[in-house]
Amino acid sequence: MHVYDIESVGEPLRTVHGEVVWELAGLAVPGTAKVHSVAQVVIPPRMATLRHFHPVAEETYYILKGTGRMILDGEEADVGPGQAIFIAPGQHHKLINRANEELHMLCVCAPAWEPTNTVWLEAWRNGQAVAVDA
């Protein structure tokens, strides 16, 4: 049996814009899932994911703790603990933590997440998110 938590999978990925990502199952964790992935993500207070999309993968965000503002193909909604957001392949998305506490969530992708299946629509420059073509 394989049981994984943020302590057992090693150092998390820390992005330049503040996200902390622990890949719990998937291609990045040997001996685990090959057709889907699960990651625990923390978005610090007043930070956000960069706007992006996945050409192939379905993704679901499940909010564990904290609140945020989800933007999905131009639609916006407040989200919080116990809520799941389904993101279809190709949908542009971004999650903003407007609160003064961390936002914790699980991200589940099928097929399993890999860097080549992410198209970034924003980049982190001079301490802020900007459109990639800007």
pLDDT tens, position by position, 6-28: 888 888 999 888 999 999 999 98
For 4-62, what is the HEC assignment? CCCCCCCCCEECCCCCEEEEEECCCCCCCCCCCEEEEEEECCCCECCCEECCCCEEEEE
What's the predicted TM-score (pTM) here?
0.92
Least confident of 57-66, 85-94, 108-117: 108-117
Question: For the chain, which domains are there?
Answer: 13-131 (2.60.120.10)
